[in-house]
Amino acid sequence: MNEQIRSREVRLVGPEGEQVGIVPLERALQLAADVDLDLVEVAPMARPPVCKLMDFGKFKYESALKAREARRNQQQTVIKEMKLRPKIDPHDYETKKGHVVRFLKAGDKVKVTIMFRGREQSRPELGFRLLRRLSEEISELGFVEASPKQDGRNMIMVLAPHRATKAAAAAVIAANARPAREPREGDVAEAPPADESVDSTAATAE
């Protein structure tokens, strides 16, 4: 940038992206000083290198804002795990399925593991049948990203949320992250009626 540039001449680009052409470095630096901007090398490997007139401080600030916004919008992929037995009790199955549904609605992937013990290892079809049933019952929220496969004494399947499900989860997270509106002049705090007592213990429990 500016005096750090070592090339004798540069291909100059104006602040609005207009092509000025190849000029001596001293001329480019003078033009930058005349409009109170920086001369920034944007393509150092070109011959001659390409330089642009810009407000470098403003450019760095806007780049940092964009990077921060991109990180904020980037949703980290989380893989939850749910373990089942091939002969699981119907009530336990519904409970486990409820957890899977909750994970998918939150935008997370779910690794479902069927654990075989003893003679159950000779009945892999029980695991396949259970995993197929689960995938069909949650099909509105997610899909099978990794088909069931045997891994030692376990059988593993990975479920992933649909794009719409993941987008809905991201929207909820973004809404919860918004700061509450600050009180404005004219706002009136609503107080409970004077004849009603408030049970602080019950309120905390709720």
Tens digit of pLDDT for each residue in 87-135? 999 999 999 999 999 999 988 999 999 999 988 888 899 999 999 999 9
Q: For residue 11, what are the β-bridge partners?
A: 22, 50
- Averaged over 172-180, what is the pLDDT? 64
**How far apart are alpha carbons 123 and 91 in whole angstroms?**
22
In the chain, the largest separation of any two C-alpha atoms, in whole Å, equals 85
pTM for the model stands at 0.50
Q: Please give the single-letter amino acid code of residue 33.
A: A
Best CA proximity match to 134, nearest among 99, 168, 108: 99
Tens digits of residue pLDDT in 142-172: 999 999 998 889 999 999 999 888 888 777 7
Token pair listed for 57: 């401080």
Residue 202: pLDDT over 50: no
Nearest to 120 by CA among 157, 82, 89, 86: 86
Are the beta carbons of 110 and 80 closer than 8 angstroms?
yes
Q: Is residue 199 scored above 50 in pLDDT?
A: no
pLDDT at residue 187 in the model: 47
Cα separation of 166 and 85, whole Å? 28
